[in-house]
Amino acid sequence: MARLAAFDMDGTLLMPDHHLGEKTLSTLARLRERDITLTFATGRHALEMQHILGALSLDAYLITGNGTRVHSLEGELLHRDDLPADVAELVLYQQWDTRASMHIFNDDGWFTGKEIPALLQAFVYSGFRYQIIDVKKMPLGSVTKICFCGDHDDLTRLQIQLYEALGERAHLCFSATDCLEVLPVGCNKGAALTVLTQHLGLSLRDCMAFGDAMNDREMLGSVGSGFIMGNAMPQLRAELPHLPVIGHCRKSGCLSLFDALAGLSTSTLFPRIMRSLPAPGNCPVFLR
């Protein structure tokens, strides 16, 4: 039986309107009652996630910023990873051929150069929002990640520019079709989960994980049981073809598989339940 469950947020745990459903919260509580350690592995900021955990009285470890930070149940910082100052400077100061907006993150919050109200729709549940700054005056020594948001084709062209400029000095990934992230080398949810499992005295084989985007790839591919959401990016499915595809995040009222996992009492039941899964198109939803 899995001893730790790691969940992506957007597109997995969160419904399309960016909130956690009551049945989801109830099932998470049942997992905790079975002594399964909960971990939320997300691109969202630690400040936002700590607020959400407190508001909902959730007992969970946090992997935030797509692996740049790991926090304990008590909020203790277990791991941090920042962009090198010269990499942050290049990304912030270079004139990129793109229409995408740029967003900078550090421990103090989320920063951008202009108002983009549409982006705040994903944060209505928590109230978290950006701060407007002159990006050229951003302190370079504490940047955790830099994101570009825009049209996918435009971001794909930008990705090529970034690769050419940065080489192996940063890790680039799509956390969504409309969001390209610049992260420290070797920084991803899978690497962060490795740090956390070592802290807890577990192995990755003891973990199950759920996700939908390319920023979930390393995590899903490294755990004992990885599950891909039905609404996942096609590239993720293509790169992890051996993993089961489960339900869509919009169907959070249909959590029968998740409920079954929450009720497991022996390790022998898990393979039996997995063999009984319906076809991917009919499978109950899980969470992103």
Secondary structure element (H or E) that encloses residue 270, with its range: helix 269-275
Longest Cα–Cα distance of the chain, Å, equals 57
Residue 109: which pLDDT band, with cuts at 50, 70 and 90? Answer: very high
Residue 242: which pLDDT band, with cuts at 50, 70 and 90? Answer: very high
Q: Which of 200, 252, 190, 240 is CA-nearest to residue 66?
A: 190
Map residue 187 onto helix, strand or coil.
Answer: coil
- Given the residues 8, 10, 81, 212, the one annotated as active site: 8
The stretch 93-109 carries a mean pLDDT of: 97
Count other C-beta atoms under 10 Å from residue 173's C-beta. Answer: 21
For position 11, what pLDDT does the model report? Answer: 87
Residue 115: which pLDDT band, with cuts at 50, 70 and 90? Answer: very high
Residue of 17 and 3 predicted with greater confidence: 3
Give the list of residues 6+ apart from residue 211 with CB closer than 8 angstroms, or none: 7, 8, 11, 12, 41, 189, 219, 220, 226, 227, 228, 229, 232, 236, 288
Q: Which domains does the chain have, with CATH numbers?
A: 4-80+188-282 (3.40.50.1000), 85-183 (3.30.1240.10)
Task: Return the minimum-mean-pLDDT range out of 33-37, 44-48, 68-72.
Answer: 33-37
For position 150, what pLDDT does the model report? Answer: 97
Count other C-beta atoms under 10 Å from residue 33's C-beta. Answer: 10
Residue 18: which pLDDT band, with cuts at 50, 70 and 90? Answer: confident
Q: Which of 134, 138, 133, 174 is CA-nearest to residue 156?
A: 174
- How many Å apart are CA 123 and CA 44, to the nearest integer? 10
Task: Return the minimum-mean-pLDDT range out of 94-103, 124-133, 148-157, 272-281.
Answer: 272-281
pLDDT over 80 at 191, yes or no:
yes
Count other C-beta atoms under 10 Å from residue 241's C-beta. Answer: 8
The stretch 153-181 carries a mean pLDDT of: 97
Residue of 159 and 230 predicted with greater confidence: 159
Residue 280: which pLDDT band, with cuts at 50, 70 and 90? Answer: very low
pLDDT in tens, 77-86: 999 999 999 9
For position 272, what pLDDT does the model report? Answer: 41
The stretch 189-207 carries a mean pLDDT of: 98
- How many Å apart are CA 216 and CA 7, to the nearest integer? 9
The per-residue pLDDT of the chain, averaged, comes to: 87
pLDDT over 60 at 117, yes or no:
yes
Residue 15: which pLDDT band, with cuts at 50, 70 and 90? Answer: confident
Is residue 8 flagged as an active site residue? yes
End-to-end CA distance of the chain: 21
Residue of 251 and 222 predicted with greater confidence: 222
